């Protein structure tokens, strides 16, 4: 029998995994702790989840974040999908530069984007609130949908849509009957990613939100200045579960799109 030799890559991977996920595991565990201070385990309890559900301010902020994420990813889905399809069908010298500019919002630091949006909305005298939040979040969500759909279009045989056109289908009919069903998994995957990015954003939202409107990340950020309570641990556990479910759904949609090839 061969002796199992020491593997440095395996040890390195285990160490990185431990450092990355141990703090998350601690947050999840202490969300079920009876004690108010997250320093010692005093028994299993769901009291902090009950406290979280009774916190009207946090629940309102959660509702605002969900509505903002849904609105942003809906607009981003339409604009990003049409942009990816349009860029795939045209050919001009500056196409590469246009594609680079289309993905620029996800490469710029969020604090720069937040300052730019604030200055732009102030110049337009647009009142800060829902309109400014939706416009700003849609702007940095579009590249995620665009990149997903663009990657999906590369693997689609253009002759399929051309065959539909030869058989008498109009451009709109060929799009809805041929192209859209093929790219739908990529659109859905981009929407899930866009929703997650919008839901998680705090830096840009601080610059463009109104005085009476608060999203969940902003609410949590302001509460952290006075100390993290187990109620926040419970909220983080719920959001972590939702993010894992969204990632699994997004992965399943991408695999489904690949199997349709």
Nearest by Cα to 70 from 224, 191, 209, 153: 191
Note the pLDDT tens digit of each residue in 19-73: 888 888 888 888 888 877 766 778 888 888 888 888 888 889 889 999 999 999 9
Q: Is the confidence at residue 261, as pLDDT, over 70?
A: no
What pLDDT score was predicted for residue 1? 47
Domains of the chain in start order, with CATH, are 8-45 (no CATH), 56-259 (1.10.3720.10)
Note the pLDDT tens digit of each residue in 111-127: 999 999 999 999 998 88
pTM assigned to the model: 0.78
Distances (CA, A) of 26 to 18, 47, 233, 237: 12, 17, 9, 10
Distances (CA, A) of 54 to 10, 57, 77, 83: 45, 9, 34, 43
3-state secondary structure of 101: helix
Q: Could you tell me if 85 and 93 are in contact, meaning their C-beta atoms sit under 8 angstroms apart?
A: no
**For residue 114, what is the enclosing H or E element?**
helix 110-123
Note the pLDDT tens digit of each residue in 129-177: 899 999 999 999 999 999 999 988 887 777 777 787 777 778 788 888 8
Task: Take residue 201 and report the two structure tokens written for it.
Answer: 């954003």
């Amino acid at each position: 029998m061969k002796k199992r030799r020491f593997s440095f890559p395996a040890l390195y991977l285990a160490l990185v995994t431990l450092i990355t996920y141990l703090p998350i595991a601690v947050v999840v565990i202490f969300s079920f702790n009876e004690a108010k201070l997250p320093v010692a385990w005093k028994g299993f309890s769901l009291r902090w989840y009950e406290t979280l559900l009774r916190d009207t301010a946090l629940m309102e902020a959660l509702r605002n974040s969900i509505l903002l994420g849904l609105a942003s990813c809906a607009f981003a889905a339409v604009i990003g999908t049409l942009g990816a399809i349009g860029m795939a069908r045209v050919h001009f010298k500056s196409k590469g530069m246009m594609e680079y500019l289309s993905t620029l919002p996800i490469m710029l630091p969020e604090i720069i984007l937040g300052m730019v949006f604030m200055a732009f909305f102030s110049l337009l005298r647009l009142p800060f609130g829902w309109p400014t939040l939706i416009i700003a979040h849609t702007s940095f969500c579009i590249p995620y949908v665009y990149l997903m759909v663009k990657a999906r279009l590369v693997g689609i045989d253009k002759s399929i849509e051309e065959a539909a056109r030869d058989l008498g289908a109009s451009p709109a009919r060929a799009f809805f009957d041929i192209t859209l069903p093929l790219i739908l998994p990529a659109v859905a995957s981009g929407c899930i990613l866009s929703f997650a990015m919008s839901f998680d954003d705090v830096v840009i939202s601080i610059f463009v939100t109104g005085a009476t409107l608060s999203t969940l990340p902003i609410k949590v950020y302001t509460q952290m200045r006075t100390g993290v309570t187990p109620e926040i641990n419970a909220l983080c556990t719920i959001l972590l579960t939702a993010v894992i479910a969204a990632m699994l759904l997004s992965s399943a949609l991408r695999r489904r799109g690949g199997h349709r090839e």
